[in-house]
Amino acid sequence: MNFFSPTFRIAAFETLRWALAVFSICLLGGFMASAEPPGVPEMKTADGFALPQPGRVFRFPEDHGSHPEFRIEWWYVTGHLMEEGGKRHGFQATFFRRAGVGAGFALTNSVSSSGGSTNFASDELFLAHMAWLDATTGRFIHEERLNRRGWDAGAAVGSLRVRNGNWSLRDTGQSAPGASGPVMELVGGVQAEVGWTLRLQPTKPLAVFGTNGVSRKAKEPWAASHYLTFPRIAVTGTLRRAGGVKAVTGEAWMDHEFSSSQMGQGQVGWDWASVQLRDGRELMVYRMRRDDGTTDPFSVAAWIDAKGLVHSFGAGRFQWIPQGSWKSPRSGAEYPGGAEIRVPTPDGMGTEILRLKPLAADQELSGVLGAIPYWEGACRVLDAEGREVGNAFLEMTGYAGALRKAL
């Protein structure tokens, strides 16, 4: 067949879109509980991938790297930056790994939004998302890439080195006074409009969410992950735009999750937030949404106090109250316009009210490659009296259709 004929290009494109749609669903939602028949072995999925087990002893720097024995994994950095002159920005950089892609993904060549192809392995796919917000103008842009494992994409085992094209996140191997984890470098950007090179230095210890090392997302035992987070990271670096290169400073949050399945039956999506307060505390909260509109009992709110200790509360102890609405002109999805979170104080004796206000209404990633739009954006945090008390990132999935319905 002529590789440059219109017929071949159309067939290849349709095959790729199908592969990407399934791949993105697996990453955003994991494999649903219905994908695992009764009698799944305790330590493995039916097709041989590892399941998170209580009591796992994490070892670093090894566990900052890739875990190919698990089906899905991501390294996720979000942050707020201030440019010279006072301009405010938000950014997202996410590197996804999907293992055991199977024959359906055995394309002849790798494909990415940045172009280029060569022979690649078919045992792992790597998707990456980058997004950037100019909070002054409200301009939000993003880009996605997908490559098979090979020279253009990969994740190291035993150390933090992930890459997709010229985007990368790595442990520099350097030490720094006061650092509470590895000093990292993030290189990213969005098309030709903006690029950044950022130095990430954790200022608080790594937090492990969940019970005995396992973060449960549903009643099904396999709907779980190992969930590691650097909740507060000092950021310095440069931002490159048409107007030149500017120095930037700010703070970031970094999640690293690995699992083989994350959603259970009856779940359609989730709302998630990372909150960094000016008093030195952080809050991570996720609300797993069910198809009847209720909050799943396995939803969690977790404080990280000024000493780095985690205090978790189940779904019955906190409230996630959507605020307003915003309708996407592209996907047609109607998202909440923010959220009010009512959560016990870390000691459980009082209640704290935090309101998340997006810096721009339109921070939807359109999901061009995987056809699964979701909202992910920078927010300011207000207390009950309306005072600005911190920064946050808010993620809302499943509003453009239940994740499982896209299969």
User: Could you tell me the domains of the chain?
Assistant: 6-406 (2.40.370.10)
Tokens 């909070």 sit on residue: 135
**The pLDDT value given to residue 154:** 95
Q: Are strands 139-148 and 124-134 parallel, antiparallel or unpaired?
A: antiparallel
Rounded CA gap, 124 and 127, in Å?
A: 10
Counted residue by residue, the chain has a size of 407
Is residue 140 within 8 A of residue 49, CB to CB? The reply is no
Q: Under 8 Å CB-to-CB from 360, ≥6 apart: which residues?
A: 133, 135, 138, 139, 140, 377, 378
**The pLDDT value given to residue 149:** 87
H/E stretch holding 11 reads helix 6-29
**The pLDDT value given to residue 14:** 39
* Residue 396: Cβ within 10 Å count: 24
Is residue 132 within 8 A of residue 194, CB to CB? The reply is yes
Residue 380: strand pairing partners? 357, 391
**The pLDDT value given to residue 121:** 58
Residue 234: strand pairing partners? 201, 251
**The pLDDT value given to residue 104:** 32
The pair of structure tokens assigned to 366 is 């359109």
Rounded CA gap, 121 and 80, in Å?
A: 36
**The pLDDT value given to residue 118:** 41
Rounded CA gap, 331 and 376, in Å?
A: 14
**The pLDDT value given to residue 16:** 43
**The pLDDT value given to residue 402:** 59
Q: Classify 376 as helix, strand or coil.
A: strand
Rounded CA gap, 50 and 70, in Å?
A: 5
Rounded CA gap, 134 and 91, in Å?
A: 9
**The pLDDT value given to residue 37:** 37
In order along its 407 residues, the chain shows pLDDT tens digits of: 332 233 323 333 333 443 444 445 444 544 333 344 344 445 788 778 899 999 999 999 999 999 999 999 999 999 999 998 889 999 999 999 998 645 233 333 333 333 333 445 568 899 999 999 999 999 999 999 999 888 889 999 999 999 999 999 999 998 877 778 899 999 999 999 999 999 999 999 999 999 999 999 988 888 899 999 999 999 999 999 987 999 999 999 999 999 987 788 888 899 999 999 999 999 999 999 999 989 999 999 999 987 888 999 999 999 999 999 999 999 999 999 999 999 999 888 999 999 999 999 999 998 766 668 999 999 999 999 999 999 999 999 999 875 654 33
- pTM, rounded to two decimals: 0.87
Q: What is the dihedral of CA 135, 136, 137, 138, to 10 degrees?
A: 20
